[in-house]
């Protein structure tokens, strides 16, 4: 079970690693499109676009509906859920880092104000 989740997470991050696939997802966030509508946005063949779509579909990031010869794709934002939850595990790290940065900036501002009063 854990191996399945890890393999799925690998698929999601592999799919997101491509700027082309991220752009495709952004397009689909605006609404469903068929592959013929997606392809002209990219300088690649229809077959290459189709391979990218299959990668997104395998990762669970999009749904594809086939009606005759028309393949309509739509975003599956739920597919990002597992990746989001994995990243959330690092919230404490980022909050601690941002809190430390804020403290450093506040100390620097306090020193600057003290220098102005003295000078």
- Chain segment 92-103, per-residue pLDDT in tens: 777 666 777 777
Which value, to the nearest 10 degrees, does the dihedral of the CA atoms of residues 101, 107, 109, 110 take?
Answer: 160
Query: Tell me: domain 2-88, CATH 1.20.58.100, correct?
Result: no
pLDDT single digits (tens) 22-61 = 999 999 999 999 999 999 999 999 999 999 999 999 999 9
Maximum C-alpha span of the chain: 79
Domain boundaries of the chain, sorted by first residue? 2-88, 90-119
Say how many CA atoms lie within 13 Å of 119 toward its Cβ: 6
How many Cα atoms within 13 Å fall on the side-chain side of residue 13? Answer: 12
Instruction: Provide the pLDDT for residue 115.
Output: 62
18 pLDDT higher than 70: yes
Please tell me whether the overall predicted TM-score, pTM, comes out greater than 0.85 for this model.
no
Instruction: Report in angstroms the alpha-carbon separations of 33 from 22, 83, 90.
Output: 15, 24, 34
């Amino acid at each position: 079970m854990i191996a399945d989740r890890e393999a799925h997470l690998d698929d999601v991050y592999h799919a997101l690693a491509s700027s082309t696939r991220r752009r495709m997802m952004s397009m689909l966030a605006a609404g469903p499109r068929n592959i013929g509508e997606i392809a002209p946005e990219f300088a690649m063949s229809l077959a290459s676009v189709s391979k990218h779509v299959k990668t997104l579909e395998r990762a669970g990031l999009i749904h594809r509906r086939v009606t005759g010869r028309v393949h309509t794709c739509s975003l599956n934002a739920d597919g990002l859920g597992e990746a989001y939850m994995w990243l959330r595990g690092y919230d404490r790290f980022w909050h601690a880092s941002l809190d430390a940065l804020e403290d450093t900036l506040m100390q620097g501002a306090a020193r600057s104000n003290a220098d102005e009063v003295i000078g």
